[in-house]
Structure 1
């Protein structure tokens, strides 16, 4: 079978989104799509650039990527044992040095073995030789470990200066000759001995120019890595097993529902490659059947995939229109539409255009990968509309009064036949309440009677025209799952594993050499302090769950700021809001028709 892609069941966009960085961006701003490994450290390859149409006129480049091998680039061989440093170990403090001092301080203590007195048979020469050999072996092992720690400390103190990258403009005319020349130049730059020092050349990376044609990733000139955060993250709703039990981090609805939330994963493997894995393991579920369509199996055995941010938008709309977070209705709707393998649930034409064997990253459709909750630039628009002026009131006019110039007076005189001028201000405002923003703008041009309108009018327009701008009217706080990052969880798990191994090794040597102090030493040891991925996610989620203050906001400035900014994340939020709104409406209809049983 060929590659077969799974998409978000709520927004119809792939989890396997790629990004091609620009020359000005770091390496971690690039990642590859259509893969079965995590996105960290990957990139869109440039060795096939001649088939992508990019060249001098697109402004694209290539660069040869290198990597330092674990245990070679930052390690050293100690008595035949390969030693490697772990990323982030410096942050733990100089623990290795302290432990070296602890052990070295105890080396002067001599363990004496006295021959037992008795009938002469209790302390033979053979037994003494065995004891002496064991002492020598233990001392050598301990000395090897001390040497290892000294080398680790030295390597941690050694500054790591990466070599600057050299970007080569793509030369289509030279073709393969150009590509092979790149390799030779890069090898010459690094030197022949770099392989022995752990530096390896891993591939040619495509670097996006302003007019890059490559559809294997979105152009970094058109959307930032920050805007795309979370676009490769997936999560599932899975049916409970018979032995399901509540856990401390369950959402309120999980205990009474037939389904529960799994952990999260980064980029979805092809249907024919492997089952998607998640972290952390919740309710015993770390991998299993999950898809956006059913090939004929039992619906209850297949978990439903989605972006955590998309599920948050579902919870908002479900509470708003159905009065609760109707996950049961969502799964029943999913099951009723499960055989529609070929169609996208989204009405956005760019979604259908992007759906191919691999997701096609077309220019102009970058907003499909923009995070709809955590939107760079949105907070500054809210802040700019906030006012602390004591004289401010939403009843104030959004516009300055007309100056009484001669030309204005003539216009007013000519407009005395305008019937709207005879209406009281309250009635004029009642008229505009029934108009949209474009109609109001036209009316203001046609009649001076509508020149001054209250700021509060634009609050109503925001509620009506942009219901997806929930910061205006809702204090709903998104789940921490929407901000949790898979790479943070994996890095934290890796750091904890390395820390645990180091502590176990310390504990072993102390138990061997100074067992009498082991208990006190263990009491004084700090607990593992990781990056606190979950705590970081909670703080981020709380930061975007704040409702805009109604009385202290200039709603006209906010409306204008939103319209002018054209934020990609907000455009994607609008798209997802509309699509999920239709799903919620279908759930409502299914319930009215009695097709969803409680």
Structure 2
């Protein structure tokens, strides 16, 4: 068995995409994010790293550093490249437990050992206060080193002081094995394909790029017991959602570990390809939680309701190697990156950007609402006349048309054609805000903040480590408060029963529990008010910057994939291969079992397809 990566069934991107940190992030001691785990230095691009002003942290030297507090990390900060923390079976870092500390025969070490220990400590401190290597030309790094307290350098200093520029001697070395011991730090010109350049994709944009969730078929023999976090479609449909996983192992190795366990499932059988129809009820559909949110809104735009069943039905028919790897029309950047190991090509960073929570897009939305605060009506003029004085328009043929028809004509034109029409007809010199709202919805439906009020599921707002930390913190806090209550009940004084103190703590416990529950509430999405938004400026901002905003560019790509999925499901239903509604696993199995050979989508009788040309490929269901 070889190495193969699990990819998102909706968008086609691997869950093992990574992002290199920047020098500023290492110096600032930012927490290591899940998408950095497993990223290794791609020494095939060593010369590109030299020219790109990249840096590395030699993890071997760092492990040998015994400076005071050098190995101490603040809470929640995982050692960068450290072997002192290992990955547990659940895919999360856990402290080593099998190490044996040296014990003295007596309570204190003998005199000679104590002197040696003290001397070693002084030497280490001197070396820390003295000449620590700093990357050449990195003024930010040097300024940070100079500002550190001499007594307590801390974990940020520990890793930053082992960071150095990659030089030509490193790149010309014949010993490539040692590059695997380096933690890469991207420079602005970095072209290393082991992960995306941190200067071109921010940490906030990359949130959730390695987070997996699955749809799992419900058991046909055991009753389905509802849980507190179930969404409506889980209660009525044939599938349920798993927890989240930030570390997805090789598809040939083991199933991903998800947290929290849901419906007695913590290791779903996440599979991109189905080779045997008899096993369809055993496998789970893997996807990014944010991609599922885009799919929900694509369904709303088309049907007026969320139709998760369409995703399930498409998976049952098209989850084959040929369809998923060749026939399905993925974005060219996805095809270029999809290798045995994901290739992180410079310029394709948008593939790892969060399509739901987009910092740059939020800035434009906030500006549009701020500028629209003075607008009184959506029919108010959005585009000024430019100083032209409009007098008689009696000879203008468009002036004889009602306002609604004139607007409807504009909606069917491209932006360039609208500009030409404004030059040719005085009737169109002033354009209403209403027009640009319709143009935005028609040309950029994936900017669903303009028409959709559906809140985001809390799953899309979290990563796996987020939920685990929320649960652990709540358990610790609850145990602490409950212990205080028990102590107060046991230590009752003769003149007091501690009732007031106990009541106060119980009230605090209830308040903390409400705060904990609020972490699992859906998050309201931004919705632009119709009459208080400058639709003209927003339309212009989106038109000019849609290819520059990583998250919006990724959302547009995923939106097209979602609509391709819905096109295919409608085609299968039109051809009679799918019933109008399929709500249980058994009926889905029976439908699929009647078709022993997969017919290419464009060759199904009665199906015209969505306008794509597909290769003439058909494969059997079993091999």
Fold match by TM threshold 0.5: yes
Q: Does 1:336 align with 2:320?
A: no
Partner of 1:363: 346
Q: Structure 1 residues 222, 239: closer, same or farther in 2, change over 3 A? A: same
Q: Does 1:394 align with 2:378?
A: yes
Partner of 1:385: 368
- Helix, strand or coil at the partner of 2:242: strand
Q: Does 1:353 align with 2:336?
A: yes
For the Cα contact (< 8 Å) 2:433–2:535, is it kept in 1?
Answer: yes
C-alpha separation between the residues in 2 aligned to 1:24 and 1:570? 26
Partner of 1:162: 155
C-alpha separation between the residues in 2 aligned to 1:509 and 1:393? 64
- Helix, strand or coil at the partner of 2:7: coil
Q: Structure 1: which 5+ residue stretches go unaligned?
A: 33-37, 77-83, 90-157, 184-201
Residue 221 (structure 1) aligned to one of 188, 199, 208: 199
- Helix, strand or coil at the partner of 2:363: helix
Task: Quote how far apart the aligned CAs of 1:310 are.
Answer: 1.2
C-alpha separation between the residues in 2 aligned to 1:55 and 1:531? 50
C-alpha separation between the residues in 1 aligned to 2:217 and 2:350? 32
Task: Quote how far apart the aligned CAs of 1:367 are.
Answer: 0.9
For the Cα contact (< 8 Å) 2:242–2:268, is it kept in 1?
Answer: no
Greater CA drift, 573-582 or 493-502 = 493-502
C-alpha separation between the residues in 1 aligned to 2:58 and 2:364? 40
Question: Root-mean-square deviation (CA), in Å?
Answer: 4.4
Partner of 1:173: 169
Partner of 2:566: 584
1:182-225 Cα deviation digits (max 9, x unpaired): 99xxxxxxxxxxxxxxxxxx942211122211111111111111
Task: Quote how far apart the aligned CAs of 1:299 are.
Answer: 0.5
For the Cα contact (< 8 Å) 1:237–1:303, is it kept in 2?
Answer: yes
Q: Structure 1 residues 20, 171: closer, same or farther in 2, change over 3 A? A: same
Partner of 1:54: 48
Q: Structure 1 residues 163, 360: closer, same or farther in 2, change over 3 A? A: closer
Residue 248 (structure 2) aligned to one of 268, 271, 282: 268
Q: Does 1:432 align with 2:410?
A: yes
For the Cα contact (< 8 Å) 1:54–1:170, is it kept in 2?
Answer: no
1:141-195 Cα deviation digits (max 9, x unpaired): xxxxxxxxxxxxxxxxx97733531442211235477999x99xxxxxxxxxxxx
Greater CA drift, 585-594 or 503-512 = 503-512
Task: Quote how far apart the aligned CAs of 1:347 are.
Answer: 2.7
Partner of 1:255: 235
Residue correspondence of structure 1 range 107-118 to structure 2 within 5 A: none
For the Cα contact (< 8 Å) 1:55–1:169, is it kept in 2?
Answer: no
Q: Structure 1 residues 419, 492: closer, same or farther in 2, change over 3 A? A: closer
Q: Structure 1 residues 262, 67: closer, same or farther in 2, change over 3 A? A: farther
C-alpha separation between the residues in 2 aligned to 1:73 and 1:511? 44
Q: Does 1:571 align with 2:557?
A: no
Q: Structure 1 residues 50, 62: closer, same or farther in 2, change over 3 A? A: farther
Task: Quote how far apart the aligned CAs of 1:537 are.
Answer: 5.6
1:252-278 Cα deviation digits (max 9, x unpaired): 121221111111111321012211111
Task: Quote how far apart the aligned CAs of 1:327 are.
Answer: 2.9
Partner of 1:316: 297
Q: Structure 1 residues 589, 175: closer, same or farther in 2, change over 3 A? A: closer
Q: Structure 1 residues 503, 87: closer, same or farther in 2, change over 3 A? A: farther
For the Cα contact (< 8 Å) 2:5–2:249, is it kept in 1?
Answer: yes
C-alpha separation between the residues in 2 aligned to 1:555 and 1:21? 37
- Helix, strand or coil at the partner of 1:14: coil
Residue 87 (structure 1) aligned to one of 50, 54, 75: 75
- Helix, strand or coil at the partner of 1:62: strand
Instruction: Kindly tell me the number of residue pairs found equivalent between the two proteins.
Output: 486
Please give the TM-score of this superposition, normalised by the length of structure 1: 0.70
Task: Quote how far apart the aligned CAs of 1:295 are.
Answer: 3.7
Partner of 2:264: 284
Task: Quote how far apart the aligned CAs of 1:319 are.
Answer: 3.7
For the Cα contact (< 8 Å) 1:268–1:276, is it kept in 2?
Answer: yes
For the Cα contact (< 8 Å) 1:309–1:371, is it kept in 2?
Answer: yes
C-alpha separation between the residues in 2 aligned to 1:335 and 1:471? 32
- Helix, strand or coil at the partner of 1:403: coil
Partner of 1:11: 11
Task: Quote how far apart the aligned CAs of 1:509 are.
Answer: 10
C-alpha separation between the residues in 1 aligned to 2:527 and 2:44? 50
